[in-house]
Amino acid sequence: MFPQFSIGPVTVHSFGLMMALAFVAAGIVAHREFKHRGLNPESIYWLTIAAAAGGLLGAKINYVLLNLNLLRSDTLGTLVGGEGLVWYGGFIGGAVAGLAVISLYRLPWAKVLDAAVPAMAIGYAVGRIGCFLNGDDYGRPSTLPWAVRFPKGSPPTPPGVSVQPTELYETFSSLVIFGIVLYMRRWLKRDWALVCFYLVLAGLERFLVEFVRFHNGEMPGVTRQGQAQQQYGALAMAIAAGAALIWVQWRPQRQARLESQLD
């Protein structure tokens, strides 16, 4: 792990660097998808900036809500420190900020969100590499050949304890999801279909990876808040998105058949 490194007199934090690269990668992919769908690609710049700012703010707010004890003991450090970002808060914050820009530019919501799906997948994959380099959000103690140690992690793993690199599991999974959504976009052409499909895959991925992420009590001195929220929230998202996908794909066809029968 490399939580930080120096370039001359400048100290670079790996997590922040990978977050920045994640948004750059997402912006590049989104620009391509906007052109592919006939949308104005110039609007992607403001969308990317808004999603980045809203995502970071939302992730920090979610972390603070899960760690109110830290807020009371170290208010300034908890609010402005580089540590402590929760994925669901980031997802909600980024989505709200992005939707605000979509409304401001009067863009078609469904087409923009469907176009943004591959960008979300690749951005998440790159961002999780930053979590690995920073040594946070790792898995359960393990003796697997690829298990790793984070002696300077956030928080550090206990001496001699190796853990599963769940951050890399999520990177790999998100790259697979990226490939799947690129393939499925030729079949899921109805508005909202691709974004619903992505939320199903992303929710299932997060639900499953929580089974190998560490639990409180498994490592001395290491705690993790909000595990149940993360896992069951992911499952709820996948189920809701799956129901929405079925409705989007099936209801228009059923409506058309009913209208033809009435005629």
**Residue 45 lies inside a defined structural domain of this protein:** no
**Residue 195 lies inside a defined structural domain of this protein:** yes
**Residue 161 lies inside a defined structural domain of this protein:** yes
**Residue 174 lies inside a defined structural domain of this protein:** yes
Backbone angles phi, psi at 31, to 5 degrees: -60, -45
**Residue 44 lies inside a defined structural domain of this protein:** no
pLDDT of residue 249: 87
Q: Cα–Cα distance between 105 and 108 in angstroms, integer?
A: 9
Burial 6-41 (b: 16+ CB within 10 A, else e): eeeeeeebbbebbbeebbebbbebbbebbeeeebee
Q: Which residues pair with 155 in a beta bridge?
A: none
From first to last of its 263 residues, what are the pLDDT tens digits of the chain? 666 767 777 777 777 788 889 888 998 999 999 988 888 888 888 888 888 888 878 877 777 776 677 666 666 555 555 555 666 677 788 888 888 888 888 889 899 999 999 999 999 999 899 889 888 889 999 999 999 999 988 788 989 899 999 999 999 999 999 999 999 998 998 999 999 999 999 999 999 999 998 877 777 777 776 677 788 889 999 999 999 999 998 876 555 454 445 44
pLDDT of residue 137: 84
Q: How far is CA 231 from CA 81, 84, 117, 123, in A?
A: 25, 18, 21, 21
Q: Cα–Cα distance between 37 and 115 in angstroms, integer?
A: 7
Q: Cα–Cα distance between 219 and 140 in angstroms, integer?
A: 8
**Residue 17 lies inside a defined structural domain of this protein:** yes
Q: Which domain holds residue 179?
A: 4-39+108-262
On whether the CB atoms of residues 40 and 73 are closer than 8 A, the answer is: no
On whether the CB atoms of residues 139 and 163 are closer than 8 A, the answer is: yes
Q: Cα–Cα distance between 246 and 192 in angstroms, integer?
A: 11
List the structure tokens of 235: 């499952």
**Residue 185 lies inside a defined structural domain of this protein:** yes
Q: Cα–Cα distance between 33 and 118 in angstroms, integer?
A: 8
Count up the domains in the chain and report the number.
1
pLDDT of residue 13: 74
**Residue 29 lies inside a defined structural domain of this protein:** yes
On whether the CB atoms of residues 120 and 196 are closer than 8 A, the answer is: no
Q: How far is CA 245 from CA 29, 210, 234, 250, 251, in A?
A: 23, 24, 16, 8, 10
